Amino acid sequence: MENPNKYPITKSEAEWREELGEKRYHILREKGTEFPRTGEYNLTFENGTYLCGACHTPLFKSDNKFESNCGWPSFDDSIEGAVEYIKDTTHGMMRTEILCSNCGSHLGHVFEDGPTETGQRYCVNSLSLNFQKK
């Protein structure tokens, strides 16, 4: 986990674990990944806003969501200032990890292979998100 003290919302890992439960804690705080095509929001396309599953900060608008066929919710952009970008060289790959800029929780990764004008594909775990309908 990145230095938790640099984020506006800070809690001990014990507090996060109790608040989030084991599955969400694993994804958000231990940088886990859901199995593809298993997440609640993979095929959700209602109007609204996707919030951080840990601190409820707005991260993505439904207007930026698209079907990527990758098995995870995909967005072509985030809400300005809501996401932090970290170089990730784990598993022998070069990727860009995305974190909530408010609490430092792991969301997923962003790739430069998106089909829209932005060219980006934010690949996000459903358990990293909450959805708020418009």
pLDDT in tens, 1-50: 455 568 999 999 999 999 999 999 999 999 999 999 999 999 999 999 99
Instruction: Tell me the mean pLDDT in the region 86-95.
Output: 86
Task: State yes or no: pLDDT of 69 exceeds 60.
Answer: yes
What are the DSSP E strand ranges found in 4-126?
48-52, 58-61, 65-66, 74-75, 83-88, 95-100, 106-111, 121-124
State the first-to-last Cα distance of the chain, in angstroms, to the nearest integer: 32
Query: Is 55 assigned a catalytic role?
Result: no
> To the nearest whole percent, how much of the chain has pLDDT over 70?
96
What is the structure's pLDDT at 4?
53
80 contact partners, CB below 8 Å, separation of at least 6: none
Catalytic residue among 52, 55, 103, 123: 123
